Structure formats: structure tokens, C-alpha cells
Chains A and B, each alone.
Chain A
């Protein structure tokens, strides 16, 4: 059992357990904290897959910026920690669970079946600088410069839209 297997189960198991914490905790603040932990574990998985820039972006943007927004709104609204959910299962929830199980089975079979076993391993050697700042930045500003600029416009529209939606009166 190599180091990669150990780290895969450490990060992957941690991500799944903390995502379970998001789903099962009654207090939304606990859900938010579990989600931050899950983002950190996923950043570890990204770093294992030599996506170093995306691992850093995951921590800085997701865990650092988006989750701060979530926690800020949770603290601002302050609607108490108990959620008025009925513990027993109603038919809608049973159907949801069945659909989730079917989706999981379909995705697992697709994940194992789309290539044959011999070709499923990753290439042993990577090109130098793969997934680093220089490579991704070069791709973003040459081949993908139009989507990059569109993302900038989208974020601008998002800022203005958030202010307009949350503002009380004009």
C-alpha cells in the first residue's frame, strides 16, 4: 500500500465524512464548518492530482471567500439552531433516497466501465509544470481569454445583482 493510497483514503474519507456532517447536522453553522473541512480535504485530493493552482484556489476562494459569505449570512439572519423538520420519512423523501441510490449505482458503473482496466491508470510521468500557475495562467490568457473575460463580466453582474436583490428600498 503506497503513500498515494493512504492519502487517497485519508482525504477522500475525510471529505465524505465531513460532507455527511453537512447533511446531518441540525445547526446550519455546524453544516458550514463541516463544509469548510470538506473543502480542505478536497484541496488535498486536487494536489494529489497535480492541480496545484486549483488546490490553492479551492482553499482561497471556496473556504476563504464563499464560506465566509455563508457564515456571514447565517450570523446575520440568526434564525436559531433548531430546524423545523419532521424526523419521519414522508413519500417525497423516500422517492428522493431511491433516486439518489439509482444515481449512485449509475455513476459507479459508468466510472468503472468507461475504459477497460488496463488503461485506467494515470500516465506515470507528467509534463513539467503541469497544473502550476504558469501553465494555467498561460492557457487562461491565450486560448481561453474570452471565457476568462466573460467570467469577469459575470462576477461584475453578480456583485451588482446581489446589491440590487438584497437592498431594501431605492
Chain B
């Protein structure tokens, strides 16, 4: 017996997404910014799963599978780039990455 409306889950997802977006904009540590991207992806996954149950359709859950695969690939590449940046700059602050800015 499920009684909660769909909008509660959507509002939880929206809250998590906005928190992740704010963290991405406000934090200067590149690794923490990456973690905030993961938070945003999780919020989107929650929306997919809530709508999947609402429509009684598997497609949303299959798409969550794909989002997790993309998140794994993104985390691997992104952390490799951060390791490389640390090797050159000895810092992971995003303000230090100014090579392409001039």
C-alpha cells in the first residue's frame, strides 16, 4: 500500500539536485565539485525511478542503469584529470586551473 504522492519524491529529488548544483558552483575543491556532480546524478536517478513506478514502466529503471554506467566512466576520467592537474599545479583548487583562460 503506497499512499505518498509522486510530488513528494519529486520535491526530494529537486532539493538534492539544487544542493548538488549549489555545491558545484560554490565549492572550489575540484574533488568536492565532482562529488556534487554525483549528487546531481543521483537526484535525477530518483526522478527516473519515481516516474518508473508511477507509470509502471521499466524504462526509467533501465535508464538509471545507464546513468550509473556513465557516472562510473565520468568518475574514472575526471579523477585521472584531477590527479594530472595536481601533478602540475600541486593543488586541486579549480581557481588554479587557468591555463586555458588567457
**B2 in contact with A4 (CB, 8 Å):** yes
Query: Once bound together, how far apart are the Cα atoms of A108 and B23, in whole Å?
Result: 19
When C-beta atoms are compared, the residue in chain A nearest to B31 turns out to be A28
* A10 at interface, CB cutoff 8 A: no
**Digit string of A85-122 for contact with B (CB within 8 Å is 1, else 0)?**
10000000100110110011001101110010100111
For A123-164 the 0/1 string (1 means CB < 8 A from B) is: 110110011000110011000100100010011011101110
13 contacting pairs across A/B (C-beta < 8 A): A20-B19, A35-B39, A39-B42, A51-B61, A69-B75, A70-B31, A70-B75, A84-B93, A104-B14, A130-B53, A165-B77, A165-B81, A165-B84
Q: Which 9 A-B pairs have the closest CB atoms?
A: A158-B73, A111-B10, A107-B14, A166-B80, A96-B25, A120-B5, A151-B69, A165-B80, A162-B80
- Which residues from chain A sit less than 8 Å from chain B, CB to CB? 2, 4-5, 8, 12, 15-16, 19-20, 22-23, 28, 31-32, 35, 38-39, 42, 45-46, 49-51, 53-54, 57-58, 61-62, 65-66, 69-70, 73-74, 76-77, 79, 83-85, 93, 96-97, 99-100, 103-104, 107-108, 110-112, 115, 117, 120-124, 126-127, 130-131, 135-136, 139-140, 144, 147, 151, 154-155, 157-159, 161-163, 165-166, 168
